[in-house]
Structure 1
Amino acid sequence: MISRVLVDHLLYTCPSRKNCVGKINLTLYTIMPCPFVSRLTTAYVKKYASPLISMYQRQCPYLARSVSIATACSQQASVESLKQSEPFTCPVDEVNRCNRCPFLAANKTAIKSVSCPDAVEFAEKPVLDVDIATDKLDFNYESHFQSMIAKKKMDHSYRVFKKVNRLAKQFPKATEHTEMADSSKPITVWCSNDYLGMSRHPKVKAAVQEALEKHGAGAGGTRNISGNSLMHENLEKDLAKLHQKQAALLFTSCFVANDTTLFTLGKLVPGMHIFSDAGNHASMIQGIKNCGAPKHIFRHNDVAHLAELLSQVPKWVPKIVAFESVHSMTGDISPMEEICDLAHKHGAMTFIDEVHAVGLYGDHGAGVGEQRGILAKMDVISGTLGKAFGNIGGYIASTSNFVDFIRSYGAGFIFTTSLPPTVLCGARASIEILGEDEGRLLRRRHQQVVGYTRERLRAVGLPVFNSKSHIIPVHVGDPAACTRVSNELMRFGHYVQAINYPTVSRGEERLRLAPTPFHDKAMVDQFVLDLCEAWHIAGLGLMPPQQSVQQS
């Protein structure tokens, strides 16, 4: 219907319309497939067809071809028609509709107020008859990509990867090659997720080397087609035992584990409602959003708000509450037992991401759930092999039926090559070490270093977040300043990555420190001195000593 309205407008404004029938039919043909114009109301198109066509014929590939063909017979007549038009202001709701169109959204500000002189000036430019098969009017992909990248650079959210080669025999030291690939400088890494240095543990490396010699580098296929082995199944048994669950399932990463599990639940459990913490990781958000199930977002770690939302859904309706135990960017630890009890009271399952906790908390390194003695209240646990365990990959642990359900229906598990033998054997060795006395000693030493680092930062007045975990965020609040501090620290020989949008909200930019058991007091003291200097260079102020930044 809308396509015909635009065609009628072109016919009405064309004095040679008798000669335009063939071209107008072609115009209709080219507008018909447009998925964006069709979303506008017919009334809106009737009222604003002329300025709409004039303003956006070059942004929209459908309008561009249509107008070029239909107006070639009488450009001047169209111009005169536009000259007689009155300025207009689009209704707000129609402007909002334009947000759905990638071509119109780029000019959202212009849509709000379009004047006739602008439209006339645009229309007076020469318009030639164009063969619709030509690619001259196709969407300019490269230009669009370039403009989107430019936006990231303008707001300082563009990511420049540091070239850092870690040194296994000198952990946490590394060499940095960002300036010139053929030159390097020694640095100390303060932001690695290899929290306990297990990637360079002699027993882990030996297990990897043995697996490489015996089984080769790759897995050979998906788990269903030649990519399953005793090593996969033994590691899954180890993980199930670690979390005191019936079964576990491996994924290529915990991003995939979270995304696949939550998506599959939301898609295949009839009537499922998902309750998600506002601070959840992008992997959880993606799975929840894409599954299409009703979602309810509760304020970060706000049990009262969750209770309010849960009370609005009948107890018999399927539901799941998804949250993280240790939040990666604030370092805070969730009120896990309260959330689990509340969820079960309302008939909901619980899904807890322990990615930043496994290996680091609990007597055997099973995470905060083990430390607090609430593993039985955690229905589904997701974790990673890529942080404290020093390898790569992700997993879930739960009941046998739940794991088999995800194994059978989860596309992110089914349609991908499985983890290689080197990773499987390295991870098994790491889990074994961290479950024994050596692991307990590492965890104690780790907490001591974290405590000392936090104390020294507060003593000099740096705005440290009041977190209870091993993660120490330092608030900056400005993307340019955050990047500047990070770069200055690198110049001093310390690597701390600036954390800007979209990893954190705008205005919440920060440095994220993750000291390891192998950062000694001398390293910490020098780092704090250099951070104060970098802070001063960036023009940032200090807080009164011993104060902390409260979580927003």
Structure 2
Amino acid sequence: MSQAIATSNRSDGSDESDTTLGAAGSSMPAPHPMNKSWLESHAGSVCPVGRHRMASAQHPRTYATQSKGAYASMVSTPNAKPSSPPTSAQTRTPGSGLGRLPLPPAKEGPGFDFEHFYHDELALKHDQNTYRYFNNINRLAQRAPMGHLANSEAQEITVWCSNDYQNMSRHPRVLEAMKSTIDKYGAGAGGTRNIAGHNKHVEHIESVLARLHRKDAALVFGSCYAANDATLTVLGSKLPNCVILSDSSNHASMIQGIKHSGAKKMIYKHNDMQDLEAKLQSIPVNTPKIIAFESVYSMCGTVGPIEKTIELAKKYGAITFLDEVHAVGMYGPHGAGVAEHLDWMLNASMPPGKLKGTLMDSIDIITGTLGKAYGNVGGYIAGSNRMVDLIRSFAPQFIFSTTLPPAVLTGAATAIEVLMESNHTRQLQQIRTRELKHALLNNNIPLQSNPSHIVPVLVGSAEKAKMASDLLLTQHGCYVQPINYPTVATGLERLRITPTPEHTSTHVAHLVDALKQVWQQLGLRTVSDLLAAPQDGTDKLAELFRHSQFKEDNSPLWSDAMLTLPSELLRGSNSAALRCQCKASPVDHFFSVPPLGVHA
């Protein structure tokens, strides 16, 4: 068993909540009263990840010191009566979470009791099953998708939840480009873009990104969290009386940018175009409006309705802000994301560069990452020359940050170019995803079906999700991360699996067998259980499962024809055979081959 590093801080925005892991403990308490109106307005959301709740779910407390600096009371709700007696941390009821952490010594002297404050905040995280434990997993460059634990290099594990979706972090061309760059230019950039940190490496990758998305310009940031935050902050604060319409399942970086901007926000139900249009209709036509949404939502795998969102934006005079973080490198004939993917034939017929009349051309602002499918670190925006220059000129997240290292920029640019040139790793990854989804359902293991590469296996309990993850790792050598509140709503906890091109059918069979054993060992709910549950709206997990299984628009984004492989290769082949077939299938022949005839 690995030694875990415990922390309550969220990870860097580039990895966002992919590393969330639930702790064992009591169920989530009732939502804070200040969130009631938001929760009511978002009831019934298909992908209720609770991310907009994160921005406002504060727990107001009052800490004061007494005569000897003793720790004072916590006010649990904003409506507590002033005369209510204080509840000391030392006298709370057993099981409150405070017993799990040793109390700090009593404060000596006057002033705020910081250590007790830290203690209580952490105890609250334990109580809510949102405390984060980091598993020490060391992925091997020459053995993907394998890794090892901190203290046992000899015992390899299979990593099933990495966001290195295309294994570009270990691609020979990427590694060689990074090694040669670091030998010649050193480890760091040497400054901000304004002072000694602007170089040919950053100019090159911004040119590559602009071509990839068929935009005028691009701008690179230290992370996509910073890119989203900075862009929405600047636009929302600069545009007069701006209103930002945000999908309820948007990432925390977008929510933070909206908050920082001070602009009015309107949150529409996840992927609900009727709700979005109703809100657009309520805004004066001449008021600047931004519609912020994602192409692939990382925790549920749902896909944003890009075409319909563009139609509404044009109808009501809004601009579109599309986060393609979990789609770049994964979709489209050149890996530009879902917006490119949906116009496959037109984009496949033309090399990267300006192309009018496509969905991607109609998106005003695209944001993406240099991590995930591109296997490195960093984020970016792409759009018009003037928009990019505005962000470059006003965003403090850009102005006051040291430029990414030359080797990082070169490695990321190389990965982008590799994935522009060929679709074979994308095809392999999609085939493995289909194979896994199909095997899970055939073995009575419930998942939230979706059109993307994300495989959310439904558990419905933070405690059991943590236990399942631990058993998979310690007994079966499979590392799968559990996801709980606030990344997903309470009661919809899950294991999030992300197959890669290097996973084989043997890996899939081993994982499915391990999951079957863990499901039986923990008595977790199966497909049969969820289908048999009452359909009265009281069982959130069963409702989510049924809804995802019977949605009409859940066909894989990568169609049978796009995969270009005969159906027999889907059964029992190894990655080498699949890669050979993929390499022999040029892009412009994708629609001339027979369908696979296999559906996830």
TM-score range, shorter chain: 0.7 to 0.9
Residue pairs, 1:313-324, within 5 angstroms:
313-324=283-294
Q: Counterpart of 1:467 in structure 2: which amino acid?
A: N
Matches of residues 532-547 of structure 1 in structure 2 within 5 Å?
A: 532-544=516-528
What pairs up with 1:89-100 in 2 under 5 angstroms?
A: none
- Determine if the alignment matches structure 1 residue 162 to structure 2 residue 154: no
Residue 429 of structure 2: aligned partner: 446
Q: CA deviation at 1:372?
A: 1.1
Contact 1:197 1:390 in 2 (8 A): yes
Q: 1:427 maps to what in 2? A: 412
Alignment of 1:219 with 2:202, yes or no, is no
Counterpart residue number, 1:88: none
Q: Distance in 2 between matches of 1:422 and 1:360?
A: 23
Q: Deviations over 1:407-455 (max 9, x none)?
A: 0001111011011011111011111110113xx1111111111000000
Residues 252 and 115 from structure 1, CA distance in 2 versus in 1: closer, same or farther, beyond 3 angstroms? Answer: closer
Q: Find out whether 1:208 has 2:191 as its counterpart.
A: no
Match of 1:518 in 2: 502
Counterpart of 2:270?
A: 300
For 1:248 and 1:185, the matched residues in 2 are separated by 43
Matches within 5 A, 1:331-342: 331-342=301-312
State the 1:113 CA deviation: 7.4
Greater CA drift, 143-152 or 374-383: 143-152
Higher helix share: 1
Corresponding residue number in structure 2 for 1:483: 466
Give the structure-1-normalised TM-score. Answer: 0.76
Amino acid at match of 1:328: S
The change in CA–CA distance for 1:139 and 1:448 in structure 2 (over 3 A counts) is same
Report matched runs for 1:267-306 at 5 Å.
267-306=237-276
Contact kept in structure 2, 1:337 and 1:377, CA below 8 Å: no
- Partner Cα distance (1:149, 1:174) in 2: 30
Which residue identity is paired with 2:416?
I
Q: State the 1:255 CA deviation.
A: 0.3
* Counterpart position of 2:122: 149
Please report how far the alpha carbon of residue 305 of structure 1 lies from its aligned counterpart in structure 2 after TM superposition: 0.2
SS at 2:132's partner residue?
coil
Mark the CA change 1:183 to 1:108 in structure 2 (over 3 Å): closer, same or farther: farther
Amino acid at match of 2:492: E
Alignment of 1:106-255 (within 5 A): 106=76, 111=81, 114=84, 136-177=109-150, 181=151, 185-255=155-225
- Tell me: CA distance 1:445–1:348, structure 2 relative to 1, closer, same or farther (3 Å): same
Task: Give the drift of 1:59.
Answer: 5.4
Structure 1 or 2, whichever has the larger Rg, is: 1
Residue 262 of structure 1 corresponds to which residue in structure 2?
232
**Alignment deviations for residues 25-57 of structure 1 (CA, whole Å, 9 cap, x no partner):** xxxxxxxxxxxxxxxxxxxxxxxxxxxxxxxxx
- Over 3 Å counting, the alpha-carbon distance change for 1:488 and 1:363 in structure 2 is same
Deviation at residue 353 of structure 1 after TM alignment? 0.1
Q: CA separation in 2, counterparts of 1:115 and 1:173?
A: 55
Asked whether the equivalents of residues 222 and 378 of structure 2 are also in contact (C-alpha less than 8 Å), the reply is yes
**Contact 1:461-1:545 at 8 Å conserved across structures:** no
* Separation in structure 1 between the aligned mates of residue 83 and residue 446 of structure 2, nearest angstrom: 45
Contact 1:155 1:479 in 2 (8 A): no
SS in 2 for 1:333: coil
* Equivalent residue in structure 2 for 1:329, among 284, 299, 314: 299
Write out aligned runs for 1:3-14 (5 A): none
The residue that corresponds to 1:509 in the other structure is 493
1:61 aligns with 2:67: no
Q: Structure 1 vs Structure 2: percent identity of aligned residues?
A: 44
CA contact (8 A) 1:382 1:397 kept: yes
Q: Please report the TM-score for the alignment, with normalisation by the length of structure 2.
A: 0.70
* Aligned residues of 2:63 and 2:113 also touching (Cα < 8 A): no
- Report how far residue 182 of structure 1 moved: 6.5
1:477 deviates by 1.2
Aligned to 1:392: 377
Q: For CA contacts below 8 A with separation 6 or more, give which structure has more relative contact order.
A: 2
Deviations for 1:484-528, whole angstroms, at most 9, x for unmatched residues? 000000011000001111221212211111001111111101100
Residue 530 (1) aligns with residue 514 (2): yes
Displacement of 1:466 = 1.4
**Amino acid corresponding to residue 508 of structure 2 in structure 1:** V
Correspondence for 1:17: none
Q: 1:35 matched to which residue of 2?
A: none
Distance 2:384 2:268 in 1: 26
Q: 1:171 to 1:546 in 2, by over 3 A?
A: farther
Instruction: Select 1:497's aligned residue among 475, 478, 481.
Output: 481
Give the match for residue 557 of structure 2: none
* SS of alignment partner, residue 133 of structure 2: coil
Gap change, CA 1:115 and 1:208, over 3 Å in 2: closer
**What is the CA deviation profile of residues 138-170 of structure 1, one whole-angstrom value per residue up to 9, with x for unaligned ones?**
221111111211222233211110001110111
1:214 counterpart letter in structure 2: K
Check the 8 A contact 2:459/2:525 in 1, yes or no. no
Q: Deviation of residue 183 (structure 1)?
A: 6.5
Where does residue 460 of structure 1 map in the other structure? Answer: 443
Letter in 2 for 1:150: A
Partners of 1:61 and 1:137 within 8 A in 2 = no
Offset at residue 463 of structure 1 (A) = 1.2
Residues 467-493 of structure 1: CA deviation (Å, up to 9, x unaligned): 110001011111001100000000110
Go from structure 1 to structure 2 and tell me whether the alpha carbon gap of 1:312 and 1:109 turns closer, same or farther (over 3 Å shift). closer
Cα RMSD after superposing both structures: 2.4
